[in-house]
Amino acid sequence: MAARKRHSCPPLVSPSNPPGEHPIIAPDASDQHSPTVIDISIQHPSYEQPSQPAPTPTVATAGGLENGTDTQMKGRKAGTAALGTVFGLFAWAQIYQNVVFKALTPRDERLDELKWVGSSKSWIDRRMCNWFGLCGLAHLNQANWKTQGEPVNRTVLEAGQIKIDLNDFREDARTLPEDWSEKELKDREIPQYVLDHAPLIHLYSGEEYWPCDMADHLFHTTPHLNYTPLQAVDDHPTLKNLHSLNRWGRFVYLQSDDNVEDYPEWLGGKSNIPDVPEDSDPDDVPADHGHYEEDKDGEKSSWWHVGDGDTREKGGVRTSGVVNSRIPTPTAVPKNTPEGEELVVEDEPWQSELRRTLKSRGKKVVGGRSDAPAVLIVVPKENGVVDAFWFFFYSYNLGNAVFNVRFGNHVGDWEHTTVRFQDGIPKAVFFSEHSFGEAYTWDAVEKSGKRPVGFSATGTHAMYASAGVHPYVLPGGILHDVTDRGPLWDPTLNMYSYTYNYRYDDLKSSNLSPDAPIGYFYFQGHWGDKFYPLNDPRQYRFLGQYHYVNGPLGPRFKNLGRKEICQGNGECVLKRWIGDKKSRPYAKRYSPIGRGEEISEEDMRRFDIRDSP
């Protein structure tokens, strides 16, 4: 049988293999079944062996091509990723500027946006703020918030200097009770049932910012028209003449004389921590075996929806009525804006300037006295209804943090609890929480004897009906308040008490404190600093939420003539306590923090509040 000839291909290995040795290559599976083939070497005279090294084997060449291709692909992926990032940022910038910013920012605030952003000296900061809504990123470094070097303590008295008597900041020239007529005495009388059912407040055990004396607050602040001081630092207004600042318009702010980030002693109010009463029993804690749900029957009661409501300029819904001759006609109403509380002229442009739970059983617990006076305002209404407003003042509000970034700090803080009575019988309790709050039937709240017990949250001082963690606004409890059974405060032991005719906007000192000051009640400005500009290292804003917002407006603008017991004019849900049933969830209603509260147009018209003198 003749042998077949075929040309043998060079092995796919390095040509340095010795003759007669097989290349070290794993045989292909198909080779095991190949027929026997006789290889005959055939000489090619015309073919000369190359004197240079053999070319790179095919396998090696293929590997090089693959590596090059991978490099090119990686380069393309990186380029695509970079291009995608740029496109994504560009798209977000367009969405933020044309949709998000307009949705988050009121029209009147947008008028001042250019100046606020322009106050920053950093070009990058201004661009990041305008394009992406990230303002003041560099200001997250807390080291720059405090005063460099030794903080200036403006309250230290020189050797031999007489200590300031704060009574000068409190007292008002009032007629004595013996000079009052029978009608006047009746108009000023605080019913005993109001005191018998006055709230007791548990402050948070780890609180940093305790209740403060309003007079002390005035001593450490200076009135500013926006960011311009109106008088010397040592020339302080008092509680009896604070309303005289109204001549400067509604953009007056009581600005701290100290850098609040230096934590001056007066701001914390530690001297006002309530005394521990001898007969207190902090271990007498009621058990929690139930939940709250809406009391629809209670919402049909004659005491639930009463009167005409307060005027819009004081936070209500009624149009302006009879005006107190002592108070100018208003042109603005209080509102919560991104910068905090402000008096806002509705449908008018702003000035072209930078702006602005549970029943208690067992031993009665008696609360302690605080040196910071509470404010009681009793408001008679129709159908035998009387609302007793208990206001609590703090010199500082520490906002809550989201992922360790804090929002909503402000100097000055007013919180309140309201007890509604009908014919002398308590019917419901309202606890203010941020810009809204929650209403409960009288039987639904925890009590100490006859008195309801409330809980003040750490930092924000928001009021709640129970101790624990209270999520709000954001899902998953990211943003929340915390309360516990810290020091128990009895506000009746030190208070200014008044009666108030909401129809005539007439506040009178009561028979219990006839010398209580009046002027501060009519102050239409803010009890703290104006929200800081972007060039201030303490300020930043992310998606419309500021680190520092405006100080709040006073009690006069808290809708004292409200029809229902809730502060707001929207849906008011009355909650009752239901035991041993599955809890029904309720969504808390809050408006964004923003810059803070502002006066509404209706309030401005009623109180004759002007933008400027």
Q: What is the mean pLDDT of residues 136-146?
A: 78
At residue 61, does pLDDT exceed 90? no
Q: How far apart are CA 341 and CA 327, in angstroms?
A: 21
Residue in 225, 344, 203, 321 with CA at minimum distance from that of residue 269 = 203
**pTM of the model as a whole:** 0.69
The pLDDT-based confidence of 363 (bands split at 50, 70, 90) is: very low
Q: What is the residue type of 211? A: P
Question: For position 350, what pLDDT does the model report?
Answer: 28
Question: For position 337, what pLDDT does the model report?
Answer: 64
Question: For position 96, what pLDDT does the model report?
Answer: 67
**Buried residues in 347-363 as b, exposed as e (16+ CB within 10 A):** eeebbeebbbbbebeee
Which parts of 98-166 fold into alpha helices (H)? 101-104, 107-110, 113-118, 123-132
- Lowest-pLDDT choice from 17-21, 287-291, 313-317, 469-473: 17-21
In percent, the amount of the chain with pLDDT more than 90 equals 36
Record the tokens describing residue 13, joined without a space. Answer: 């290995």
Cα 370–373–375 angle (5° rounding)? 135
Q: What is the mean pLDDT of the chain?
A: 74
Q: How far apart are CA 587 and CA 471, in angstroms?
A: 10
- Mapped onto helix, strand or coil, the DSSP state of residue 454 is strand
The pLDDT-based confidence of 518 (bands split at 50, 70, 90) is: very high
Residue with tokens 């009908």: 422
Q: Which of 82-96, 299-313, 508-522, 528-542 has the highest mean pLDDT?
A: 508-522
Question: For position 1, what pLDDT does the model report?
Answer: 46
Q: What is the mean pLDDT of residues 581-594?
A: 38
Q: How far apart are CA 365 and CA 200, in angstroms?
A: 9
At residue 291, does pLDDT exceed 70? no
Could you report the per-residue pLDDT of 528-572, keeping only the tens digit for each? 999 999 888 898 888 778 899 999 999 999 989 998 888 776 678
Record the tokens describing residue 237, joined without a space. Answer: 């207004």
Question: For position 217, what pLDDT does the model report?
Answer: 95
Residue 82: CB partners within 8 Å, gap ≥ 6?
none
Burial class (CB in 10 A: 0-12, 13-18, 19+), 119: middle
Q: What is the mean pLDDT of residues 302-315?
A: 66
At residue 391, does pLDDT exceed 80? yes
- Mapped onto helix, strand or coil, the DSSP state of residue 154 is coil
Inter-axis angle of helices 58-95 and 123-132, to 10 degrees?
80
Question: For position 433, what pLDDT does the model report?
Answer: 85
The pLDDT-based confidence of 28 (bands split at 50, 70, 90) is: very low
Q: What is the residue type of 16? A: S
Q: How far apart are CA 111 and CA 337, in angstroms?
A: 14
Higher pLDDT, 313 or 33: 313
CB atoms within 10 A of CB 531: 30
Question: For position 347, what pLDDT does the model report?
Answer: 42
At residue 475, does pLDDT exceed 50? yes
The pLDDT-based confidence of 348 (bands split at 50, 70, 90) is: very low
- Lowest-pLDDT choice from 8-17, 392-401, 598-607: 8-17
Q: What is the mean pLDDT of residues 197-215?
A: 94
Rounded to the nearest 5°, which phi and psi values hold at 537? Answer: -60, -15
Q: What is the residue type of 69? A: T
Q: How far apart are CA 599 and CA 558, in angstroms?
A: 11
The pLDDT-based confidence of 23 (bands split at 50, 70, 90) is: very low
Cα 211–216–218 angle (5° rounding)? 115
The pLDDT-based confidence of 33 (bands split at 50, 70, 90) is: very low
Question: For position 141, what pLDDT does the model report?
Answer: 76
